[in-house]
Amino acid sequence: MNPTKTAPRGAAEGVANAGDSEVMTYRDALRLALREELQRDEHVFIMGEEVGVFEGAYKVTAGLLGEFGAERVRDTPISEEGFVGAGIGAAMLGERPVVEIMTINFLLVAMDQVVNHAAKIGAMFGGEVRCPLVIRTPNGAGNQLTAQHSQSFEGWFAGTPGLKVLAPASPADAKGLLKSAIRDNDPVLLVENLAIYKERGEVPLDPEFLTPIGLANVARVGSDITLVAHSYATVRALHVAEKLARDHGVDAEVVDLRSLRPLDVDTVAASVTKTSRAVCIEEGWPTYGVTAEVAARIQKACFDDLDAPVERVGMAEVPLPYAKQLETAALPGEDRIEAAVLATLGLRG
């Protein structure tokens, strides 16, 4: 399949008619995807801390234990290295585990299983065995959760060959990408976001609705500058784009990456070729981050088209403090994104 020819550009374009979709939260869209896939394939099962009786730390799995039973919605001990590895082993024997990690901060204690094991299986064993594992986990900050619970590490995993890393920003893509991840035959990390869970949007109800892996989405068409983002940074970028249009007459294009590995550089480059300017935004630290990679790709792919250096906005490079005004100052808020856009346009220094 060539995704450029057959895949919907916007997530909702895959819907036959408006009656097939429903407005729901990102959280509910994820749950819909899980329910549909649990119904579709008996090899799919959910595993994680508090996913069953407690109904999920962020309620994504609420109701699924009652519907599918404890064998398919499996509560685990607080034991990430153990149950992520168990997911890997089960996947190697043809199961389709969907492992929930309460937040991406806790995935670090299972880093060895993800990076040193899951990511290596395909290549290290010469393609003799596969690992169709899904890990879902939220990143993000903003609720005074402080240094150990406010991080966004998706770039670390996206930098690892052998993994696929997805980061939906809309309810429709939350459903479509989670379903694509579960049906994929490789280990996939699906990064959700604490602040997006409550965001609402139109979600196709077709159980065969899938968002293609490796295809970015032009979430807002514009002509003056390209904002490249993923996950919650896309939500921020879309708000900023509307404000720029209203207050400054700036028409910004927003590219929502959706997929970090594979990374759709073609869509980013096409946009920057058109606008000649780019600001890359992420929730995490920019140094060695997703925006670092995207900026490097832009400068190579669009060298002759750029009218300004590629700018980046992310979390201030400190362990996130508790005090509200410090936390707010450190996050890639809309004011900081707007200022970066105006500076890149030469409208404000």
Partner 1 sequence: MAIATATLRDLYEQMLLIRVFETAAEREYKAAQIGGYCHLSSGQEAATVGATHALDAEDLLVTGYRCHGFALARGVSPEAVMAELFGRSGGCAHGRGGSMHLLDVDVGYYGGWGIVAGQLPIATGLALALVRQGREQCVLCELGDGAVNMGAWHESLNLAAVWKLPVVFLVMNNEYGMGTSVERASAVTDLHRRAGAYGLPAERVDGNDLIAVAQAASTLLSGARSNRQAAVLELVTYRYRGHSVADPGLAYRTSEEIAEHQHNDPITRTRALLSEAGVSDEQFDAMDTEVDERVAAAIAWSIASPPPPVSELARGMYAPGSAAQFARMLAGAPFGERELVFAGGLGE
Q: At its nearest, how many Å lie between partner 1 and the CB of residue 57?
A: 20
* Of residues 4 and 148, the one with the C-beta less far from partner 1: 4
From 91, 229, 250, 331, residue interacting with partner 1 (rule: CB under 8 A)? 91
Annotated active-site residue 149? The verdict is yes
Torsion sign, CA atoms 201, 29, 99, 179: negative
Establish if 349 lies at the interface with partner 1 (CB under 8 A): no
Residue in 98, 155, 127, 147 with CA at minimum distance from that of residue 284: 155
Establish if 50 lies at the interface with partner 1 (CB under 8 A): no
Stretch that binds partner 1, among 13-21, 143-151, 217-225, 296-304 (CB under 8 A): 296-304
Give the pairing type, strands 164-166 and 96-100. Answer: unpaired
From 57, 62, 86, 306, residue interacting with partner 1 (rule: CB under 8 A)? 86
Which one of the listed residues 80, 282, 311, 327 is annotated catalytic? 80
Establish if 85 lies at the interface with partner 1 (CB under 8 A): yes
DSSP state of 143: S
Site string for partner 1, 2-41 (x = CB under 8 A): xxx-------------------------------------
3-state secondary structure 242-303: HHHHHHHCCCEEEEECCEEECCCHHHHHHHHHHHCCEEEECCCCCCCCHHHHHHHHHHHHCC
**Residue 47, number of CB atoms within 10 A of its CB:** 21
From 57, 92, 218, 245, residue interacting with partner 1 (rule: CB under 8 A)? 92
With beta carbons less than 8 A apart as the criterion, state whether 217 and 9 touch: yes
* Of residues 236 and 277, the one with the C-beta less far from partner 1: 277
From 214, 248, 334, 343, residue interacting with partner 1 (rule: CB under 8 A)? 214
Establish if 113 lies at the interface with partner 1 (CB under 8 A): yes
Q: At its nearest, how many Å lie between partner 1 and the CB of residue 348?
A: 29
Residue in 156, 281, 146, 168 with CA at minimum distance from that of residue 217: 168
Q: What distance in Å separates the CA atoms of residue 81 and residue 139, rounded to the nearest whole number?
A: 18
CA distances in angstroms from 167 to 81, 164, 215, 262, listed in the order given: 22, 10, 12, 11
Establish if 266 lies at the interface with partner 1 (CB under 8 A): yes
Q: What is the identity of the amino acid at 17?
A: N
* Residue 310 in tokens: 């590629």
Where in the sequence numbering do the catalytic residues fall? 80, 149
Q: Which residues contact partner 1 by CB under 8 A?
A: 1-4, 43, 45, 71, 76-77, 79, 81-95, 97, 112-113, 116-117, 122-130, 132, 161-162, 164, 184-186, 212-216, 259, 262-267, 269, 296-302
